[in-house]
Chains A and B, each alone.
Chain A
Amino acid sequence: MTAVWVTVAAVGLATMAIKAAGTLLVGDRTLPPRAQGALEHLAPALLAALVVSQALGGSGGGFAVDARLAGLAAAAVALVFRAPLLLVVTVAAATAALVRALA
């Protein structure tokens, strides 16, 4: 039980510190234009990496190809037809559930 609480406390404190570090370091100072330019490109860079890792990541690292990929493909089709976010997410989940049910 001790190992559990040590883990919970250490991970919690470290995560809170990581999340707060940016605003505590920068405060209300304005960042230099080059840094601001880089940060404005963080969203596309990280979102693309999140798509890849959430769709293809295995539970113990590496790749795992499964029904998530079918769900992502269905979401891409829905996006081509300019579906709203709720529909895109629902189509992805329903497709992955269907593939799993049939497999």
Chain B
Amino acid sequence: MRHPTRPSGGPGYLDGVRAAAPIGVAAFAFGVSFGVLARSAGMGRLAPVVMSLTTFAGSAQFAAASILAAGGGAAAAVATAVLLNLRYGPMGLSAASTLEGPWWRRALTAQLVVDESWAIAQRDGRIDRHLLVGAGLLLVVGWVGGTAVGVLAGDLVADPASLGLDAAFPALFLALLVGQIKGRSRLLAAIGGALIALALMPVAGPGVPIIAASLACLVGARRS
């Protein structure tokens, strides 16, 4: 494999772009469907695109648009979306040690963390900055571009669920999870995370099961 931006070895930005390409297609399609939903929720044309660029997190945006559409009000929409995005706290913390430069550049690079880019950028228990940036940039282009297509020409595009694209996301996470399970403590963390999520999904609000599942990483605290 060639590493165009880092001839000295290790992955480059283009490796991140390439790794994210399969899921970028699904991100684009769901961007389109977010645009369609947001438009029908009375969000207009500009606000959904601005939201995709600034929030850049699918589940929170879908939740906020659905709540606004149902007349739930801004406070409920904001509270639910923020709860869904709390998982980016621990994810951002795990990426912190690999980011470089002045504070504003690190804060800007951290905006490229989404579930998919963060998962793709995993290397030996750490985040690879080049993979994160490459994957994150491709996903942001797909997500924002899809949203723009959705608000402008949503009626022309097929429902992503009928194409099975909603099944692409759990498949991606499963494939990346398999690569993560090296050794007993990581297997325990995975089982713990899955069980916590399963136990809380029927009883806790959206976002809470995933945030609680991150506590399973504590099995690694006593082993190093």
Write the residues of chain A forming the contact surface with B, with a CB cutoff of 8 angstroms: 1, 3-8, 10-16, 18-28, 30-31, 33-57, 59, 61-63, 67-68, 70-72, 74-76, 79, 85-86, 88-101
Interchain CB contact under 8 A, A11 and B81: yes
Interchain CB contact under 8 A, A49 and B89: no
- Interface majority SS on B: helix, strand, loop or mixed? helix
A38 and chain B: residue at smallest CB distance: B221
A61 and chain B: residue at smallest CB distance: B206
* Contact partners of A46 in chain B: CB under 8 A: 87, 90-91, 193, 210, 213-214, 217
**9 smallest A-B Cβ distances: which pairs?**
A71-B167, A41-B220, A37-B224, A12-B54, A97-B164, A96-B164, A92-B171, A40-B125, A49-B213
Distance in angstroms between the alpha carbons of A45 and B170 in the assembled complex: 14
Q: 8 Å CB contacts to A: which residues of B164-191? A: 164-178, 180-181, 185-187, 189-191
* Contact partners of B219 in chain A: CB under 8 A: 41
Q: Do A72 and B171 contact each other (CB < 8 Å), given the known contacts A18-B88, A26-B96, A63-B202?
A: yes
Pairs A–B under 8 Å by Cβ, sample size 15: A3-B68, A3-B73, A12-B50, A21-B92, A37-B223, A42-B189, A44-B190, A45-B190, A45-B192, A46-B193, A53-B209, A70-B167, A75-B175, A89-B175, A92-B168
Q: How large is the interface on B (under 10, 10 to 19, 20 to 34, 35 or more residues)?
A: 35 or more
* Contact partners of B163 in chain A: CB under 8 A: 93, 97
Q: 8 Å CB contacts to A: which residues of B141-181? A: 161-178, 180-181
Interchain CB contact under 8 A, B97 and A30: yes
Interchain CB contact under 8 A, B93 and A39: yes
Seed contacts A48-B213, A75-B171, A92-B170; 20 additional CB < 8 Å A-B pairs:
A11-B85, A12-B55, A18-B92, A19-B92, A19-B110, A21-B92, A23-B92, A23-B107, A41-B189, A43-B122, A47-B173, A47-B177, A51-B173, A56-B198, A57-B201, A72-B167, A85-B22, A86-B21, A88-B174, A89-B26
Distance from B121 Cβ to chain A, minimum over Cβ atoms (Å):
10
Interchain CB contact under 8 A, B221 and A88: no
